[in-house]
């Protein structure tokens, strides 16, 4: 089994963020607004134009309220202070990276979510989420354009003896062009996340809608399912076995999707991509099943070496990406090697982001226009 | 504007539950199991075979942890007690009604969710949820049968100047029978809930899948969207205006659904139903728009009088229901009056339940087989 480093990378990203924050005494601009992923009507958490986040939580009798998100705060988070009205308030010690972040609140030693924020599944639990407005947020904004649908399917899985859930994005033209068939991307979440991550945190349906209306991609279907088929604990990745998930994906989900959606049901029109742990799964399954997928993409999820791939003629695209705060040289050098060996390989590095969803939103935006170009 | 009483009924249900619990000293059976709507891997909250709920929450330094769900406890809830390991535990003072309940946790005066439970949108926030196993839970169980899909659509709304979200259930045969068209039920949530409620809390997709495989209903499409178009606050119902939502539903959503799904796009094949506040909306809109809907259903959401309905020939079904702990006589008497006036009217009372989702799951199961019978 190869060594997969995304947990290490995640830790390094956090540590380097903490160190850099120490050196930046900045005046905080008081233009805070409610985060765009707050619960309806909730004014907090807030973010300002510099990327600072401010929290406000009511707990009149609490001794301590600490938000896990933050830079340079105690315990790596942001300690809130109580006002006389029983409301705790605090601002991050530094600006946060652009994009989406998970967080939670520790109240008197217990871990809870911020009642003001929407919840997103990460770290094997529903966590609070916050959006730091990004300079490029337009590409994943909800716009007045034709929208594709995201549908929950429940597909039979004999290997796990249950009905399993997946989400399927169909492009706006899917309902209109009843005789047309579409290529399919199988898109995996990361460790501790689930099949909701790419559309909730990743906004992949909106990225697709926007790319399609701009004419930048060939419309395709996206299928997202749960990849932690055998339960994976922190530190247990060394013993991770791909077979249970590979069986669900290749032997159960793909046939179901091909039977129930108007797909182009062949290798040339089938791609697999994944972020972080989903990248590890993508790498292993694409190499195990060269006749199933033709386009491979690892987002902050490792690299391929030319010698990993047995039959070059079957691979139409290798896409590798990560954030600039991860290990961009690894991704770039791997693509140089793949290109030298004659592969259609592309690298992408997201500037100023780490092992988080902004990296993966941007990576997806770069990846999508490269998929299924070989087919008419 | 008519008087709508569901907030009063809700309060009465809670009060009568509290009173009855005082008189029942019962020995608690120690067969507690994790609630079926817990977060993955979470052992608490638990429920036992009598319907008691037990909570366990870690908050070592907290002074007070109170769960809002409960009977006879302080502040109408269940006060938890702290053990030496910093974990708070408590059991409801009496058995809960069968089915789904919302709840939250008050920690040192602040309102949070139970980290062990999944969240469901109710009371205008994402609340914790718990399932008390019901004697009839089989009808909404996830089974190894063909499953319909639940898809998120984003439809353009000029009147509110945004893309609005709806969920659409399509039956298992929808994808297979590409030339077939289906009737449509527009199904509304209650006050403080949203378009996720009927499939999350209500499990309406599973109820449909099970009824279809048993041959008990004609397959139809269900469309669920957000009904609190003009923001409604507690106590603000008297000033509720139907027009903004009616415009979204009738002038924007229905045309979008008819254009993008294979519907039978006529009055005879279009039904509207709603629970609680959604019943009020259903009543008002069906009476305002007799040429749009032919089947009307109010679930714990009021009644029709014969004189409310101007053209009897346009109404194929009036269905009224509630829980036995609400006001069943109102529902029954209204149906007697409607029948005497020559309407096809049906009443249903859910035994042993109040103004909660178990009443509405059962009501839906009774309603579905009565819909669209007049069409081949």
Q: Look at residue B56 in the predicted model and tell me its pLDDT.
A: 98
Residue the block writes with tokens 């694409």: A286
Least confident of A21-35, B187-201, B296-310: A21-35
Query: Which bin fits A244, alpha (ψ -120 to 50), beta or left (φ > 0)?
Result: alpha
Burial class (CB in 10 A: 0-12, 13-18, 19+), A368: buried
Per-residue pLDDT tens over the stretch B145-173: 999 999 999 999 999 999 999 999 999 99
Q: Does B163 sit within 8 Å of A147, measured CB to CB? A: yes
> Does B45 sit behind a cis peptide bond, omega within 30 degrees of 0 on the bond before it?
yes
Residue A123 touches chain B, beta carbons under 8 Å = no
Band (pLDDT 50/70/90 cuts) for residue B376 is very low
Mutate to test the interface with B, among A104, A119, A152, A227 (most CBs of B within 10 A): A152
Per-residue pLDDT tens over the stretch A20-75: 555 556 799 999 999 999 999 999 999 999 999 999 999 999 999 999 987 644 45
Residue the block writes with tokens 């499990």: B203
Q: What is the mean pLDDT of residues A88-114?
A: 96
Among the partner-chain residues A144, A149, A152, the one whose CB lies closest to the CB of B156 is A144
Residue B107 touches chain A, beta carbons under 8 Å = yes
Residues of B in contact with A60 (CB under 8 A): 108-110
* Average pLDDT over chain A, rounded to an integer: 91
Compute the distance between CA of residue B188 and CA of residue B241 in angstroms, rounded to an integer.
16
Measured at the CA of A343, the angle between CA A338 and CA A347, to 5 degrees, comes to: 60
* DSSP one-letter string for A98-109: SEEEEE-EEETT
Q: What is the mean pLDDT of residues B208-215?
A: 98
Residues of A in contact with B142 (CB under 8 A): 154, 162-163
Compute the distance between CA of residue A240 and CA of residue A67 in angstroms, rounded to an integer.
32
What percentage of chain A reaches a pLDDT higher than 70?
Answer: 88
Whether B231 shows a pLDDT value over 70: the answer reads no
Mutate to test the interface with A, among B64, B80, B112, B197 (most CBs of A within 10 A): B112
Superfamily of domain B29-133: Immunoglobulins (2.60.40.10)
Compute the distance between CA of residue B51 and CA of residue B14 in angstroms, rounded to an integer.
16
The CATH number that domain A6-132 falls under is: 2.60.40.10
Per-residue pLDDT tens over the stretch B45-92: 999 999 999 999 999 999 999 999 876 444 579 999 999 999 999 999
Tokens of A346: 């592309």
Q: What is the mean pLDDT of residues A297-302?
A: 97
Residues of B in contact with A113 (CB under 8 A): 112-113, 115
Same fold yes or no, B29-133 and B139-370: no
Phi, psi of A148 (to 5 degrees): -75, 170
Compute the distance between CA of residue B60 and CA of residue B81 in angstroms, rounded to an integer.
11
Per-residue pLDDT tens over the stretch B99-132: 999 999 999 999 999 999 999 999 899 999 999 9
**Number of CB pairs, chain A paired with chain B, less than 8 A apart:** 130
Residues of B in contact with A261 (CB under 8 A): 175
Fold of B139-370: Rossmann fold (3.40.50)
Whether A233 shows a pLDDT value over 60: the answer reads no
Domain ranges of chain A: 6-132, 139-370
Which of B274, B361, B325, B299 shows the shortest CA–CA distance to B100?
B361
Reported ipTM: the value is: 0.89
Q: Look at residue B3 in the predicted model and tell me its pLDDT.
A: 42
* Average pLDDT over chain B, rounded to an integer: 91
Residue B260 touches chain A, beta carbons under 8 Å = yes
- Encode A136-165: b = buried (16+ Cβ within 10 Å), e = exposed: ebebbebeebbbbbbbbbbbbbeeeeebbb
Band (pLDDT 50/70/90 cuts) for residue A308 is very high
């Amino acid at each position: 089994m190869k060594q997969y480093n995304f947990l290490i990378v995640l830790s390094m990203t956090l540590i380097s963020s903490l160190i850099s924050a120490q050196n930046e005494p900045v005046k905080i601009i008081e233009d805070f607004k409610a985060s765009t992923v707050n619960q309806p009507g909730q004014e907090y958490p807030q973010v300002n134009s510099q990327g600072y986040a401010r929290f406000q939580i009511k707990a009149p009798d609490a001794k301590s309220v600490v938000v896990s998100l933050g830079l340079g705060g105690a315990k790596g988070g942001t300690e809130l202070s109580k006002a006389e009205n029983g409301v705790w308030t605090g601002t991050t010690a530094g600006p946060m990276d652009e994009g989406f972040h998970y967080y939670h609140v520790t109240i008197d030693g217990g871990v809870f979510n911020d009642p003001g924020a929407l919840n997103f599944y990460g770290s094997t639990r529903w966590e609070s989420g916050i959006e730091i407005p990004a300079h490029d947020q337009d590409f994943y904004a909800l716009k007045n354009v034709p929208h594709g649908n995201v549908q929950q399917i429940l597909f039979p899985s004999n290997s796990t003896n249950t009905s399993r859930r997946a989400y399927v994005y169909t492009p706006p033209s899917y309902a209109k062009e009843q005789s047309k068939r579409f290529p399919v991307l199988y898109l995996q979440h990361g460790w501790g996340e689930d099949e909701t991550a790419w559309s909730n945190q990743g906004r992949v349906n909106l990225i697709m809608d926007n790319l399609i209306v701009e004419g930048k991609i060939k419309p395709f279907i996206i299928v997202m399912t749960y990849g932690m088929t055998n339960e994976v604990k922190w530190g247990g990745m060394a013993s991770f076995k791909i077979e249970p998930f590979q069986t669900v994906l290749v032997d159960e989900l793909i046939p179901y999707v091909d039977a129930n959606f108007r797909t182009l049901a062949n290798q040339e029109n089938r791609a697999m991509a994944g972020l972080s742990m989903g990248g590890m799964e993508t790498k292993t399954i694409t190499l195990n099943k060269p006749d199933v997928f033709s386009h491979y993409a690892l987002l902050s999820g490792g690299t391929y070496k030319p010698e990993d791939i047995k039959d070059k003629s079957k691979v139409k695209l290798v896409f590798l990406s990560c954030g600039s705060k991860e290990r961009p040289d690894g991704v770039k050098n791997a693509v140089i090697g793949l290109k030298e060996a004659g592969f259609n390989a592309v690298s992408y590095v997201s500037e100023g982001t780490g092992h988080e969803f902004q990296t993966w939103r941007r990576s997806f935006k770069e990846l999508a226009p490269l998929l299924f170009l070989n087919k008419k």
